[in-house]
Amino acid sequence: MPVAAALVIAGANAAGPAKSTASPGGTPILQRFLTIHDPDPTEFRVMRRVDARSEHFGQSAWMDVWTEADRGGFRYRIVSEGGSEYIRSKVFRASLETERKMWADGSPARAALTLANYEFEDAGVQPDGLTSLTLKPRRKGELLIDGSIFVNPDDGDLVRLEGRLVKAPSFWTRRVEIVRWYKRFAGVRMPVALESVAHILIAGKSTFRVTYDYETVNGQRFGSPGPRAQQTDASPK
């Protein structure tokens, strides 16, 4: 699986419902997080702005792409791009195709933040005022994350996730670290930014960033995003 696809899908899982039929138990903040009203998006359309760089090879690339999902599945349309052709083809396009297939087979639901997938522990209030809950995956699934989530102490709503993929997406990828931020749109929790660092055999450290600019979520309009201004391609192809 392409590293970028695993990152984007893992983030989408985290943005999904934290519902569980089991009794949540634990501290009050953990109970609030696990029982918060968290509806699924029925549809959304968002402009993703994607950037990646391989420090070892001095290559970088960017892409702006419309992505949307509804009952008919996941679709994408690339509107502008630049930089390394290798990164755009082997990383960006490959990950979009993988994401489309994973939406079709229901992969995101198998790694949601639920008691079936994770053990949670209250780590207390952090310097930024958010409460940290540690995540320990119950199995070594390729989309699960070993790390922490940071929630609003008043209502338990998810603000940020930090950690590493518990299972490397490929033999060549030794470690993948991820930070993802969330906001609510039309009452639905959605990802708004992703930053990651992957440590890849031979290629060394590679960085990956995505920002999400939503046009609509569940039929409500939130903006009129467009592609960024054309950039100058300075990296090797």
In a domain, 237, yes or no: no
| pLDDT higher than threshold 60 for residue 21 | no
> Residue 16's pLDDT band (boundaries 50, 70, 90)?
very low
The answer to whether residue 59 is domain-embedded is: yes
Question: Does 92 reside within a domain?
Answer: yes
Question: What's the CA gap between 133 and 124, in Å, rounded?
Answer: 7
Q: Note whether 13 and 53 are within 8 A (CB).
A: no
pLDDT at res. 143 = 83
pLDDT band at 105 (very low <50, low <70, confident <90, very high): confident
Q: Which DSSP letter does residue 107 get?
A: G
pLDDT range class, residue 101, cuts 50, 70, 90: confident
Report residue 149: phi and psi, to 5°.
-115, 155
Task: Say how far apart CA 148 and CA 127 lie, in whole Å.
Answer: 15
* pTM reported for the whole predicted model: 0.87
Residue 232 lies in a domain: no
Residue 158 to residue 150: CA distance in whole angstroms: 6
* pLDDT tens column, 164-223: 999 876 656 778 899 999 999 999 999 999 999 988 766 678 899 999 999 999 999 999
pLDDT digits (tens, 9 = 90+) for 138-175: 998 878 999 999 999 999 999 999 999 998 766 567 78
Q: Please, which residues bridge with residue 180 across strands?
A: 161, 194
Q: Is residue 230 assigned to a domain?
A: no
Instruction: Tell me the longest C-alpha to C-alpha distance in the chain.
Output: 54
pLDDT in tens, 23-63: 556 799 999 999 998 888 999 999 999 999 998 788 999 99
- pLDDT-derived band at 11 (thresholds 50, 70, 90) equals low
Rounded to the nearest 5°, which phi and psi values hold at 45? -140, 125
- Judged against a pLDDT cut of 80, whether residue 22 lies above it is answered with no
Report the distance separating Cα 131 and Cα 27, nearest Å: 12
Predicted pLDDT of residue 199: 81
In-domain check, residue 226: no
Cα first-last separation, the chain = 23
Residue 167 CA to residue 99 CA, distance in Å, equals: 17
For residues 57 and 80, the answer to whether their CB atoms sit within 8 Å is no
Domain that holds residue 60: 3-221
Considering the domain boundaries, does residue 231 fall inside one? no
Q: Quick check: is 233 in a domain?
A: no
237 pLDDT tier (thresholds 50, 70, 90): very low
Closest CA relative to residue 223, chosen from 212, 233, 235, 215: 215
Per the structure, the count of domains in the chain is: 1
Q: What pLDDT sits at residue 228?
A: 82
